Chains A and B, each alone.
Chain A
Amino acid sequence: MKIHEYQAIEIFKKAGIPVASGKVASEAEEAVAIAEESGYPVVLKSQVLVGGRGKAGGIKVVQDKETLISTFAQLRELKIGGYPVEKVAVVRAIDIKKEFYIGITVDPGKNDVVLIASAEGGVEIEEVAKTNPDAIKKYYLQGERTLDLDRFQGFITSIFDDKTHQDIATDIFQKLVQVFFDNDCSIAEINPLVIDGEGNLLAADAKINFDENALERHAELNDLRDMTYEDADELEAKEKNLSFVKLEGNVGCIVNGAGLAMATMDIVKLAGGNPANFLDVGGSSNPEKVLNALNIILRNKDIKAILINIFGGITRCDDIAKGILQARDQIDLPVPLVVRLTGTNETEAKELLSQNGVETYATMREAVEKVVSLSQA
């Protein structure tokens, strides 16, 4: 789960990390009040959850009230990556002497949490990784949740030259580690961390992503979710323990297991059709899931045919078969359904379906070819 810069700044501030002074505003009057409190010039930063807002014209420096009001209005009209700018952070302009990148994330290949720093801040770290990989320094926590200060010394001195900045940066990193673990983050980063005219280190930007799988133990973080970025169907699917991603095509897919669900979409495409969605009904099955899945898929009016492709393992085919029959009784299916069931309790499932006049296919290829031809009829 992603949160906005201003929300991440708030979390960093609470943790004691020095941040550039500023606040977020939805209306021009609020923005003016914030600017007058901090003093001009101020930077107006559009709050969106997509990258490249600078390039899209979403960040502007203004010198006075009049320009602030007109620029604020422009930003609020802007769409960045298709998303509206609903809030703008108003931050006192900093006299930047130097910019750094610091961040924490999980390195899956090392099964460990890694601290990353670079003296080339202010640009995307992925860009630095390509153009100047030597400028990126890493410190692995080695399974610990605190810094080993002796080992950390080598890391921090490779980025910051003077002792005072090394000490402050160490303190910032310690707090960042705390934030990372306390909230089950998948990323916590400051880019740039700047040295200002007075020699202070400040977070001039902030980014935090949370691990979706851990949100259950951080109920308070759910309030930070910006619903503008959530697809209503995807959210409803999640509530019903289905995993759903909408695509452009017209062949609805209901599959069990993420790998098979992806493969089903791929094969629909290779067979000349166009998948309308990814939908994984998940492990443990109950008949209700088929009905929920059909309801979500059928909201897409482009759908011409639906493929149910189930390979039973922990999912039992007879549960799915019962679900198909229940769904057929409860909703009027406007498009043809192609069913393929194999695996756990397959015999019971096929018997149940054939007794009720539902044809089933034995292989994925047959079922896919059938559904693609129906979608083109």
Chain B
Amino acid sequence: MSVLVNENTKVLVQGITGRDGSFHAEQMKAYGTNVVAGVTPGKGGQEVHGIPVFDTVAEAREKTGANLAIIYVPAKFAKAAMIEDIEAGMELIICITEGLPVLDMVEVRKKMEGTNIRLIGPNCPGVISPGKCKVGIMPGHIHKPGPIGVVSRSGTLTYEVVYNLTMADIGQTSCVGIGGDPIIGTRFIDVLEMFQNDPETKGIVMVGEIGGEDEQIAAKYIKEHVTKPVVSFIAGRTAPKGKRMGHAGAIISSGDGTAEAKRAILEDAGATVVDFPDEIPALFKEKLGL
């Protein structure tokens, strides 16, 4: 088992004719992901790496049966891209684009109300279920199938964690990058619940960072609902207060937002918080007898 994406996922790429969209459509296809369609308004009828391009999401969905949309369009078009997906009834939307205005995300979340549509991101690396399906920008070859679920607010830091797991011969069920913005579609607790309910996931890595309250909310959830071992890394202990550290959401605006405060509350909830990402594999070997 895996969460969110698997062999049955049919991917539609928004912005497929752009530099990033085109490159990653090819990479996803090479990984074995079923990429069935691309969308760029005005470029319908073309092909990119053998993938048919359509003018609209609705048309692409109707003709190809795509059920997941991944977005690579520039920030100023990303809100419209998500709204088009919601209106076309895509089941899952993954928005890679970074730099969206917060009020655009308020609008998107409002539009999603009352639907069963799940959004991952924005400002995220996507989702991979190793050996089955890769939908995002992560390098596929550092992953391998196995028992650990990974959820993270960061992109490259997730790769670092996964790389260490794989080097230690510990594979992953799924790796979910939820994104570094203040308003996102899916939060830690949503993915923790998926991993807790997935029988093949035996342990969970949660990669957090300074700013916001999501790690604190996740800690409460872990304490009450998660029976699987959780290992965590929190980035930003050397970050100065009041400075935005790259991610729109990574800013310490109160004492609760520091790495130390998050670490303490996660440890209190029973999670193990490490100093170095390369300490994670040994912990799972010990906890799970791998």
Contact = CB atoms under 8 A, between A and B. Distances in A.
Interface of A: 106, 108-109, 111-113, 126, 142-143, 181, 184, 186, 211-214, 216-217, 243, 245, 247, 255-263, 265-270, 275, 278, 280, 283-284, 311-315, 342-344, 346, 363-365
Contact of A259 (B107, B139, B180): B180
Given A214-B104, A256-B156, A263-B277, 12 more contacts: A126-B254, A143-B106, A211-B101, A213-B75, A245-B243, A259-B153, A259-B250, A262-B250, A270-B275, A313-B139, A313-B159, A343-B159
B160 A311 contact: yes
30 contacts: A106-B182, A108-B102, A108-B249, A109-B213, A111-B106, A111-B110, A211-B102, A211-B103, A214-B103, A245-B244, A256-B156, A257-B157, A257-B246, A258-B209, A259-B157, A260-B156, A260-B160, A262-B246, A266-B237, A266-B238, A266-B259, A270-B275, A284-B19, A311-B163, A313-B139, A315-B156, A342-B163, A343-B156, A344-B27, A365-B278
Contacts of A186: 102
B219 to A, nearest CB: 14
A347 to B, nearest CB: 10
Given A108-B182, A245-B240, A262-B238, A216 B245 contact: no
Contacts of A243: 245-246
A133 to B, nearest CB: 14
B245 A258 contact: yes
B76 interface: yes
Interface string B153-165: 1111111100100
Contacts of A363: 278
A278 B245 contact: yes
Contacts of A283: 20, 98, 137
B152 A259 contact: yes
B248 interface: yes
B142 interface: yes
B138 A313 contact: yes
Given A143-B106, A184-B103, A342-B142, A262 B245 contact: yes
Interface of B: 19-20, 24, 27, 75-76, 96, 98-107, 109-110, 113, 125, 136-139, 142, 152-160, 163, 180, 182-183, 207, 209-210, 212-213, 217, 233, 235-240, 243-250, 254, 259, 275-278
Contacts of B154: 257-260
Contacts of B209: 258-259, 262
B250 A313 contact: no
A121 B142 CA distance: 55
Contacts of B159: 260, 311, 313, 342-343
Given A143-B106, A247-B238, A284-B19, A258 B247 contact: yes
Given A106-B182, A181-B103, A269 B238 contact: yes
Contacts of B107: 143
B217 A109 contact: yes
Contact of B156 (A111, A259, A268): A259
Given A106-B183, A213-B100, A343-B139, A259 B277 contact: no
Contacts of A343: 139, 142, 156, 159
A364 B239 contact: no
Given A106-B183, A258-B154, A113 B106 contact: yes
Nearest to A142: B110
B102 A213 contact: yes
A257 B155 contact: yes
